[in-house]
Structure 1
Amino acid sequence: MNEVAALAASPAGEDVLLPALEGVVRETFGARSTIAAIRRMTAKDQTSHACHVVTVRLGTREELTLFFKDYSSYKGRRPGMKERSERELRVYRDLLSGTDLGTARYYGSLWDQPQGFFGVLLELVPGTPVRYCEFPYWLSAAGWLGRMQGYFARHSTLLEKRDFLLRHDEHFFHSVAEKAARSVLERSPELARRLAPVLSEYDRVVKILASPFTTLVHGSYGAGQVLANSGVEPPRLCPIDWEFAGVGPALYDLGVLVDGFKTPRLDELLDTYRREATAHGVPVPDNDTMKLVIHCCRLHRVMHHLSRCMERNYPDTAVSSLMDMSDQLSKVVL
């Protein structure tokens, strides 16, 4: 038990982690199960927060390996980090738990307000981000969205009264555009004049994005936020990093995933999503309409980045590139 004692006595919230692990072990292996040793290592892939792989060895020599995301480790001044952390924890605990969608299993959370220690314990899911995988895994990621949306269409009450979720509605899309206008004006009055014609017609984009069919959205469903585990059959897809989760239009996440693709691969991605979504009872428009919505999603993401150009001190080249993208997309959707 020396390793356990050392863990309990060490700093950085370990005295909170140990009781949480004991609770996980009792729930997973039975009330009489005891911990013989604990090993904690820094995870290979880090996020905005410190992440650790925690291996618990029982007296029976069984082992349980967990992924520990330490929300309290973030030391920056970025606004909204506390809300983002709480949102992700509650998505895992309240929405994804028991869904059989392949997401990481939720084991528990740690919260010690006096110490300011806050984190979540999840299943350690082996896998490679889809962005580094062959194209078939991208297709699987598109299909996963259809299955996930079908699940929440069948269990729509799960999304009711979830105030921790962002609302991707008309107000949300307009607010991002308005923040972009202020940020660009602060950066350059000349660029603000260039952006003005796009913003004057932006209500059309908002109307297209604010679909009447809403579902759970990941909010940042890029290929770097989806793990693919090819070691099981069928391969397991596991979306991670749910800090921007919300309720919004079904095509929002798809628009993030397929950004940058062109025909014929774009059509393959859309067709794969359509098959899975339709099979699970999710209404899907025709491909031309889907492409229009996806272009609107891209324009919204451009506005999102422009809205942060001063806060993040983007270089002039990056802002110029974003303005060019805004001009190009506005010609398609406006």
Structure 2
Amino acid sequence: MITDLESATPALCRLQLGSELRQLRLKAGLTSTQVVRKLLWSPSKLTRLETGENATVETSDIMALCQIYAVDPETAELLKGYAAVTKTKRDWWQSALHRPVISPGFKAFLGMEATASALHNYESEYVPGLLQTEAYVRVIHQRAYDGLSEEEIDRMVALRMTRQQVLRREPPLKFAAIISEAVLHRQVGGPEVMRAQLAHIAEMTSLPNVRVQVVPFTVGAHRGMSGAFATFQFRDRVALKPIVYLENLADHWVTRQEADVELFEEAFTDLQALAPGPEESLNLVKTAMKEL
């Protein structure tokens, strides 16, 4: 529960609101289908509310749900307060600079990243976004995404650089990254860009809230081979349970299903145990730098 709405961010209010609405629906013994039929809503509208994906939330929608769920007046006022924050404040990524290049699915990711207390990220193909240099980001978007204009690429680079501020905010995001050794040897942008990128990873590991491990080729098969994933943890694990984020070229999506979350959290724990510790992993990074 958010106790200080004046200082709360819209992203946090959306996530908190969505979590509480889902709990209230389940407590009322109603399915999503039953609710949307009563309100004559599309199924996606309720889904977006419960997952915190809407940029703003209408107070009238919250009042309608509270009536169906028989919510007590005090709780209803709190939920309407959450909705009001989304109408009166804007998250940084809603600016004119960033908004044109952010897909609906990625908005959900940015909201989670901005409000999470910890992020666990496994990457098999490229350096995690929070550790990328500007030159590395630019090359990725030039090569991996066809049809982007220079202006769009500039916006994507600016977005990535701004995102990285979560590592130096107060309190900072606790970031644990595990990367495949292949990431260290894939010359994105050529030797010069890659050397600078690896040096940046080494520099970022000096931050107390950043932990980087490398899964070397020699370990063979492992649980990360199915692809990249990220899990978010929040300070209030009762109100905001961990969330898994997945993406590919076509889409981004999140899952809050307990079985799915548990599966990915276990996979990350296994990878942490399988990979060398931070110091030995840093040596792998430095060795790759020398080879360049």
Q: Which has the higher helix share?
A: 2
Fold match by TM threshold 0.5: no
TM-score where L is the length of structure 1: 0.26
TM-score where L is the length of structure 2: 0.28
Q: Which has the higher strand share?
A: 1
